[in-house]
């Protein structure tokens, strides 16, 4: 990594941003369960931030692309995330929690698309080194899931919101250490017809459909994986370590992606990731009580998130014009929110009626459909970006 790239300041932000995800993804469902909420209510609450991810990124991206205020939006979003999350300390009834999650996540989802654009801007033509910055987010995730797993064996999980608030404060501080972008980073606005024409192309539609289905297939994992394992008798330390194993595998893949993507190409990385997601959900559905097979399934997180995410970010960077980078990243984030919300809602309702195994088999079917769409229509070399007449 060249010394001209502010590697450590960028990496520090990713570390704290994904530390918060490491606190919320495994332990927030356990916190909600401890409050006495039903699986359907838990699924609804988990879906709210994902639904906000459908709305918020595009509004913030439109502002960022038109005003060139990416770093300012990131910092504003970080501060407001903590301010509105503080409502959880006032009341923990279902409707208050729903309001808190909606308000704080509206600003939370302004952050990552801007961070992605800022990072890629500083990397310049070295986009294959994105993974070397992003892997520090995975390190932060691991540190928190392992540490909190150990901590919540000794303290009630009801302390989780206090710890999450501290991490949010660190995100605010990390945001103020991020380097500013150069003046004039926003180019002449791209004609509206150009973006519309780009999004109508079959390859682009296949890409975004694959993203939607991949994230939807993760619904049972992000909503009920910890609850599922706790019901099978795994301790909270073991649950934290299993989450950490998945992200450790993700880190290894991030280190390799600079060599993997040029060799395999974006199409085959995306198709292969979706196929391995299918296998992973089948294994969790049928053999989660077998520790060795569960360990193997968690290692597949390297593909289902690590490889897929790195390839998706690179795909957008390559095929969206510079003037629309925030828009492209926001669309990706939006589809992640739509897919995640759909997966959380469906898994919440299916968990009580169909059971865990059938819910995960449904997730496998979604990933398999995404793999077929990507294999059939994802041909990046066919994408064109021309001005509309």
- Across 276-298, average pLDDT: 97
4 falls within a domain: no
Q: How far apart are CA 173 and CA 169, in angstroms?
A: 6
Question: How long a stretch of residues is the chain?
Answer: 389
Distances (CA, A) of 53 to 60, 113, 360: 11, 11, 23
pLDDT of amino acid 54: 77
pLDDT at 387 over 60: no
Q: 159 vs 8, which has greater pLDDT?
A: 159
Token pair, residue 315, equals 């795909």
Cα 373 to Cα 384: distance, rounded to the nearest angstrom: 20
* Cα–Cα distance, 189 to 253 (Å, whole number): 36
Domain that holds residue 64: 10-179+195-379
- For 30-43, write each residue's pLDDT tens digit: 999 999 998 889 98
Torsional sign, CA 367, 370, 375, 376: positive
pLDDT at position 187:
41
Residue 47 lies in a domain: yes
Range of lowest pLDDT (68-72, 174-178, 302-306): 68-72
**How far, in Å, CA of 42 to CA of 4, rounded?**
45
- What is the rounded CA–CA span in Å between residue 325 and residue 309? 16
Q: What's the rounded mean pLDDT across residues 89-99?
A: 94
Mean pLDDT, the chain, rounded, equals 85
- Taking the C-alpha atoms of residue 311 and residue 298, their distance in angstroms, rounded to an integer, is 20
CB 18 within 8 A of CB 167: no
Segment among 22-36, 124-138, 268-282 with least mean pLDDT: 124-138
What is the mean pLDDT of the segment spanning 143-167? 93
- Segment 157-179 mean pLDDT: 94
Q: Is residue 3 part of a domain?
A: no
Residue 101 located in a structural domain: yes
pLDDT band at 389 (very low <50, low <70, confident <90, very high): very low
118 part of a folded domain: yes
- Residue 80 in any domain: the answer is yes
388 in a domain, yes or no? no
pLDDT > 60? residue 256: yes
Mean pLDDT of 167-171: 96
CA distances for 5 relative to 9, 48, 192, 309, angstroms: 9, 36, 33, 22
Q: What is the arithmetic mean of pLDDT over 135-160? A: 90
188-232 per-position pLDDT tens digit = 444 444 566 677 788 888 898 999 999 999 999 988 999 999 999
Q: Is residue 2 part of a domain?
A: no
Which whole number is the average pLDDT over 241-261? 86
CATH number of the domain encompassing residue 271: 1.20.1250.20
Residue range 94-119: mean pLDDT, rounded? 89
Instruction: Please state the domain count of the chain.
Output: 1
User: Of all residues in the chain, what percent carry a pLDDT higher than 70?
Assistant: 87
What percent of the chain is modeled with pLDDT above 90? 47
pTM of the predicted structure, to 2 decimals: 0.74
């Amino acid at each position: 990594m060249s010394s001209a790239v502010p590697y450590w300041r960028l990496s520090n932000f990713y570390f704290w941003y994904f530390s918060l995800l490491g606190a919320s993804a495994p332990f927030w469902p356990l916190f909600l369960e401890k409050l006495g909420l039903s699986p359907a209510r838990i699924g609804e609450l988990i879906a709210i931030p994902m639904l906000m991810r459908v709305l918020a990124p595009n509004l913030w991206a439109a502002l960022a692309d038109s005003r060139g205020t990416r770093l300012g939006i990131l910092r504003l979003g970080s501060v407001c995330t903590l301010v509105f999350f503080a409502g959880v300390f006032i009341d923990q009834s279902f409707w208050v929690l729903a309001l808190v999650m909606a308000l704080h996540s509206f600003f939370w989802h302004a952050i990552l698309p801007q961070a992605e654009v800022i990072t890629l801007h500083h990397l310049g033509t070295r986009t294959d080194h994105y993974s070397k910055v992003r892997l520090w987010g995975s390190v932060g995730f691991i540190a928190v899931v392992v540490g909190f797993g150990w901590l919540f064996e000794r303290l009630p999980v009801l302390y989780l919101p206090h710890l999450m608030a501290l991490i949010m404060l660190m995100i605010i501080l990390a945001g103020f250490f991020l380097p500013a972008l150069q003046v004039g980073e926003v180019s002449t606005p791209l004609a509206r017809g150009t973006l519309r024409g780009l999004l109508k192309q079959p390859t682009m539609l296949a890409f975004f459909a694959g993203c939607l289905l991949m994230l939807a297939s993760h619904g049972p994992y992000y909503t009920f994986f910890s609850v599922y394992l706790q019901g099978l008798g795994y301790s909270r330390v073991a649950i934290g370590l299993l989450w950490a194993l998945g992200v450790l595998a993700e880190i290894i893949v991030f280190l390799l992606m600079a060599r993997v993507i040029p060799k395999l190409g974006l199409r085959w990385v995306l198709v292969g990731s979706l196929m391995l997601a299918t296998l992973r959900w089948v294994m969790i559905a049928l053999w989660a009580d077998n520790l060795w097979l569960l360990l193997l399934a968690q290692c597949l997180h390297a593909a289902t998130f690590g490889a897929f995410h790195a390839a998706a970010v690179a795909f957008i960077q390559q095929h969206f014009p510079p003037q629309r980078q925030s828009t492209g990243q926001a669309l990706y984030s939006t589809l992640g929110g739509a897919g995640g919300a759909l997966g959380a809602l469906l898994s919440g309702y299916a968990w009580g009626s169909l059971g865990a195994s059938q819910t995960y088999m449904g997730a496998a079917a979604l990933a398999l459909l995404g793999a077929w769409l990507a294999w059939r229509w994802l041909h990046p070399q066919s994408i064109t970006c021309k001005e509309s007449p």
